[in-house]
Structure 1
Amino acid sequence: MTKQLIKLRAINKSYQNGDQELRVLKDIDLEVEEGEFLAIMGPSGSGKSTLMNIIGLLDRSTTGNYWLEDQEVSQLSEKKLAQVRNDQIGFVFQQFFLLAKLNALQNVELPLIYAGLPAAKRKELAKQLLEKVKLSERMTHLPSELSGGQKQRVAIARALVNSPAIILADEPTGALDTKTGQQIMDLLTNLNREGKTIIMVTHEPEIAAYASRTIVLRDGVITEDKRKGGS
């Protein structure tokens, strides 16, 4: 039986702009099951990045409830949120966010430092993940010595190193050429086949096509929710 990983109920997000309230998300209801590959699409300003940030516990909703693996996370303290985020969510961003003075291996080790793992165990796990993304020859290279695609592979290895329940990918191919972008999407697809739940923000239909399910946001509302081979 498929396990429900995420449940959002009546999620609203508003910002105050002077005298006016700007509603970015409006009564969002969303469920994501274990092993899904979900693409979030929508025009600029539709709320897709805001929704991603709330799912990733980088931002809080104004109102509404969020359950992550049966834990209600909406009201957790910042310290507890950071712990849940580090344990259960891996992040892949368009701009990679690798630390320039650390080599590939050290960048992948970072989440394990926060998790309190001993140095030898950290290094071994980081090596395994870099081998998994086919970067064993680049472990000691700094980000400045890596191509865009190689940087994104390091970022994916870093996202996987804590064995999170969910990988969040925000425009993962946005800074890459078409061929390299396809290679990164093939890697994410393989991870999904291995059982990883992937939630991805993209504005490109050809990238969304890799996902098994696509939702479309417009003006802060989910207007479409389609699964491959179904409605």
Structure 2
Amino acid sequence: MKQLISLKNICRSYQNGEQELQVLKNINLEIGEGEFVAIMGPSGSGKSTLMNTIGMLDTPTSGEYYLEGQEVARLGEKQLAQVRNQQIGFVFQQFFLLSKMDAVQNVELPLIYAGVPAAQRRKLAEEYLSKVELTDRIHHLPSELSGGQKQRVAIARALVNDPSIILADEPTGALDTKTGSQIMELLVELNEEGKTIIMVTHEPEIAAYAKRQIVIRDGVISSDSARLEGKEN
């Protein structure tokens, strides 16, 4: 398995008045291409900070982060933005769709930042909305969509630039159980197609869909279990 992500002695601390709050403490982690990883842990454990570090939305205080062999710290702001846009797709619990744009326009957004021509943007956006089974909702505003449909739009948006990594932060947190299961089955399908998926969740039944489960407590990795198979029936 080709190594995709390598974190070496990653620390992240924040200044809280006169106190320094250590959120991540010497994290060492390697994730291979095509893995499906769940990062678990109680509130305040550092799991979201770890996710944001992997997604280059947060900068470590110390340590080294390599993405496909390239040290992230050596990238300038413009290069970082380009890597985030082209190599990483983000899926969030609250969807973060623009309310005045319909589904297809929301999916087009990463393509606009990537400089893709308008006609090609529309074609790709429609293609990926079809992939998540929303062909009949492409011109609906977010307010006209259910929670599950909003998350499918968000997944289509995350996929449209064909990134190698999907980062999903509590992707089922705002959904009912049945809809959450449908979203997880979609993520499993994407993983089977070769996407590397890294997901933060606090729900064991959601983490069970992943092939590898990492538990983080008090800023350190307390367990890391790779499983031969994904969700058990």
The TM-score, its normalising length taken from structure 2, stands at: 0.97
SS in 2 for 1:31: strand
Distance 2:78 2:18 in 1: 32
Once the two structures are superposed, residues 34-80 of structure 1 have per-residue CA deviations (whole angstroms, 9 ceiling, x without a partner) of 00000000001100000000000101000000011111102322222
Provide the rounded CA distance (Å) in 2 between the counterparts of 1:227 and 1:147: 34
SS, match of residue 74 in structure 1: helix
Give structure 1 regions of 4+ aligned residues with deviation exceeding 6 angstroms. none
Counterpart contact for 1:88–1:165, Cα < 8 Å: yes
Deviations 1:78-104 (CA, angstroms, capped at 9, x unpaired): 222111100100000000000000000
Give CA-to-partner distance per residue, 1:97-150, whole Å, 9 cap, x none. 000000000000000000000000000000110000000000000000000000
Q: 2:112 is matched with which residue?
A: 113
Find the counterpart in structure 1 of residue 87 from structure 2: 88
- Aligned counterparts of 2:80 and 2:161: Cα–Cα separation in 1: 16
For 1:159, the equivalent position in structure 2 comes to 158
2:98 counterpart SS class: coil
The residue number in structure 2 matching 1:220 is 219
Structure 1 alignment gaps of length 5 or more: none
Q: What is the SS of the residue equivalent to 1:7?
A: strand
**What does the per-residue CA deviation read over 1:151-199, in whole Å, with 9 as the maximum and x for residues that have no partner?**
0000000000000010000000000000000000000000000000000
What's 2:58 paired with? 59
Q: Over the residues paired in the alignment, what is the CA RMSD in angstroms?
A: 0.9
The alpha-carbon deviation at position 229 of structure 1 amounts to 3.8
Instruction: Confirm or deny: 8 A CA contact 1:35 1:198 kept in the other structure.
Output: yes
Q: How far, CA to CA, are the matches of 1:99 and 1:169 in structure 2?
A: 18
Q: Distance in 2 between matches of 1:103 and 1:38?
A: 31
Normalised by the size of structure 1, how large is the TM-score?
0.98
- What does the per-residue CA deviation read over 1:11-54, in whole Å, with 9 as the maximum and x for residues that have no partner? 00000111111000000000000000000000011000000000
Q: How many residues align?
A: 229
Identity %: 74
- SS of the aligned residue for 1:154 comes to helix
Contact 1:61 1:74 (8 Å CA) reproduced? no
Is the 8 Å Cα contact of residues 12 and 24 (structure 1) preserved in structure 2? yes
Residue identity matched to 1:69: E
2:140 match: 141
Alpha-carbon distance between aligned partners in 2 of 1:132 and 1:145, rounded to the nearest angstrom: 20
Partner of 1:102: 101
Quick one: distance in 2 between partners of 1:165 and 1:108? 17
Give the AA of the match of 2:140: H
Contact 1:92 1:169 in 2 (8 A): yes
Q: Is the 8 A contact 1:167 1:198 kept in 2?
A: yes
Contact (CA 8 Å) 1:8, 1:28: kept in 2 or not?
yes
SS at structure 2 position matched to 1:181: helix
For residues 4 and 125 of structure 2, what CA distance do their matches in structure 1 show? 26
Structure 2 Cα separation of the partners of residues 193 and 23 of structure 1: 36
